[in-house]
Structure 1
Amino acid sequence: MTPGFSPDWLALREKADAAARAAELVEPLLAVLPPGPLVIHDLGCGTGSMARWLAPLLPRAQRWVLHDRDPVLLAHAAKSVPVPVETRAGDLTRLRAADLAGASLVTASALLDLLTADEVEALADACTGAGCPALLTLSVAGEVELSPAEPLDLRFAAAFDDHQRRTVDGRTLLGPDAVRVATEAFVRRGAVVHSRRSPWRLGPGELFREWLRGWVEAACEQQPQLRPYAAGYLSRRLGSEAVVGHVDLLAIGGAPCSPDSGPGSG
């Protein structure tokens, strides 16, 4: 997996994440949850923002199993989530259905775009193999709209999208292709997939400034020829507004693929 995020950044974005997540997916989720107390596995939990958002919307007893590779984030989450929790440190790309045994629901936030195609296939196998729905929120959509617009926006956006698809330690990340790949993976396993847009809507302020700086820096890392324009672009853009596209997915039902039924079979 790629490196995690700092608690400060996760705290800064939590309110925007909560406002963006597609709350309309909760109703179809409630319709398929099993009776009785819930066991919810949250993958890449960070500081626990998904649990803080979703737990109050699930009107019954629940226990969350928080997965992350970063023990610092897990410790923070364990102290701040308002329901009983268990923490598990480890590599999410190695999760299998057996690791999710007994799960009522699998959740994740801002995770899919950090995975490879094979890792998304394995995730779909794990969720369908465990027989539970998956609510996968805030995957980047490759859509950024700054206003007022200017010509350099498209160059920085394209470079950023390419950076999201970069290869890291032999892993080619999906970036804005993640929603399509995950949808196809779950549908291939017979799941019904609901999708809703969940954009950030950012105005001038600390979150916008930090997001913009990171967005521009990633674009320049991918295309160094943009670097001479970066300082002026940032200066002009800090008073702008932005809509940053994300998509939420809810996958229900299905069964794991057989070894010979993956994307390259047939």
Structure 2
Amino acid sequence: MTTTDTPQYAPEWLELREGADAAARAPELLEPLRARLAETAGRSVRVIHDLGCGTGSLGRWLAPRLDGPQEWVLHDHDPGLLELAAERAPRAAADGSPVTVRTRRGDLGSLTADDLAGASLVTASALLDVLTTEEVEGLAAACAGAGCPVLLALSVAGRVELTPADPLDADFADAFNAHQRRSGLLGPDAVEVASEAFARHGATVRTHASPWVLGGGESALAAEWLRGWVGAAVEHRPELEPRAETYLRRRLAECAAGELRVVVHHDDLLALPRPVSHGPTPVSHGPTGGVS
């Protein structure tokens, strides 16, 4: 993904979604990740690369859940977001060890194994679905070359549930999913494609559902998500525009009244590389049964 093609995310939107992101992320993937990281506990500092870090919300969630000294390398194309992420980074790990940060601005689509040399973990949130197949293959190859685990959170799964239901829900969902796949982007296919790519490079892949569940207490986020969801659908299928205004007005009114429940499905992915001192490990999707 080139810098000019990378979607622009306003800090306000990233901050609005942070609570829902934190509640959605799959803690079930942390135990196998911690077990793998424990195998390298002899390293003085764990180096963690956060790709497309935004305001750093993933680091704020993950760093205090991992033991040991950590150095987070924050990657983003937006210098303003990098500055915010560095300022707001946690300073202590789960066991009280220090957490430090440094920033790296650049094109995520051109990362190589050399760029990730010495990495203990590569992680990202809401990134996979805005990559192409070639970019995901390049990411898998770079991480395999660096020999590090990968935790990729909150990739869109292409399914939403709105309660109460509306006859137009499916039309807007289909158009939104098509918009997500524009110009070769993977959109809802990202986790399946990434699972296959990491598996081809010898990793054991596990996935777990990580849905947003937005009720009355998350009405501000639900309303903003609705505007973006409908807007993207109309951008892809302009023939929906005559019905979109009435639909959106009705849905926003339900949201404001606390009557709308929205479930936006995502998936988290953990790829554990083949141990260096052992033969090939079998590739599986773990106890969660593959891509949800």
Match of 1:253 among 273, 276, 283: 273
Partner of 2:282: none
Between the aligned partners of 2:272 and 2:131, the Cα distance in structure 1 is 21
Whole-Å separation in 1 of the counterparts to 2:34 and 2:220: 35
Alpha-carbon offset, residue 3 of structure 1? 2.2
* Number of equivalent positions: 251
2:81 aligned residue (73, 94, 102):
73
More displaced 10-residue stretch of structure 1: 98-107 or 28-37: 28-37
In the alignment, does 2:185 pair up with 1:173? yes
**Which residue number corresponds to residue 206 of structure 2?**
194
Computed over aligned residues only, the root mean square deviation of the Cα atoms, in angstroms, reads 1.0
Which one of 38, 41, 46 corresponds to residue 46 of structure 2?
38
Matches within 5 A, 1:102-121: 102-121=118-137
Cα distance in 2, alignment partners of residues 41 and 156 from structure 1:
36
The separation in 1 between residues aligned to 2:132 and 2:174, in whole angstroms, is 20
Could you give the per-residue CA deviations for residues 73-105 of structure 1, whole angstroms, max 9, x where no partner exists?
001101000131010000000000100010000
Match of residue 263 from structure 1: none
Letter matched to residue 238 of structure 2 = P
**Structure 1 partner of 2:93:** none
1:174-253 correspondence runs (5 A): 174-204=186-216, 205-238=219-252, 239=254, 240-253=260-273
Letter in 2 for 1:148: P
Which residue among 156, 159, 171 is the counterpart of 1:140? 156
CA deviation map 1:194-231 (0-9, x unaligned): 10000001124110000000000000000001111111
Which of 35, 48, 64 is matched with 2:72 structurally?
64
CA distance in 2, matches of 1:32, 1:221: 44
Supply the distance in 2 between the matched residues of 1:241 and 1:19 (Cα, whole angstroms). Answer: 16
Partner of 1:156: 172
Distance in 2, matches of 1:3 and 1:140, equals: 15
State the shift of 1:254 in Å: 4.1
Q: Secondary structure at the match of 1:99?
A: coil
Identity %: 65
1 CA distance for matches of 2:173 and 2:209? 19
Mark the runs of 5 or more structure 2 residues left unpaired by the alignment. Answer: 91-98, 255-259, 276-292
- For the pair 1:4 / 2:16, whether they are aligned, the reply is no
Deviation per CA, 1:242-263, whole angstroms, max 9, x where unpaired?
A: 10000000000149xxxxxxxx
Counterpart contact for 1:186–1:254, Cα < 8 Å = no
What is the rounded CA distance, in whole Å, between the counterparts of 2:236 and 2:174 in structure 1?
10
> What is the CA distance between 1:59 and its match in structure 2?
1.7
The range that moved more, 235-244 or 93-102, is: 235-244
Q: Using the TM superposition, name which of 227-236 and 118-127 deviates more.
A: 227-236
Aligned partner of residue 122 in structure 2, secondary structure? strand
CA contact (8 A) 1:43 1:107 kept: yes
Verify the 8 A CA contact 1:45 1:66 in the aligned structure 2. Answer: yes
TM normalised by structure 2 equals 0.84
What is the distance in 2 between the residues matched to 1:203 and 1:158? 23
Moved over 2 A (4+): 1-4
| Distance in 2 (alpha carbons) for counterparts of 1:21 and 1:143 | 17
Specify the SS of the correspondent of 1:98: coil
Partner of 2:95: none
Which letter does structure 2 place at the counterpart of 1:228?
A: P
Separation in structure 1 between the aligned mates of residue 74 and residue 239 of structure 2, nearest angstrom: 41
Instruction: Report the Cα offset of residue 185 of structure 1.
Output: 0.2
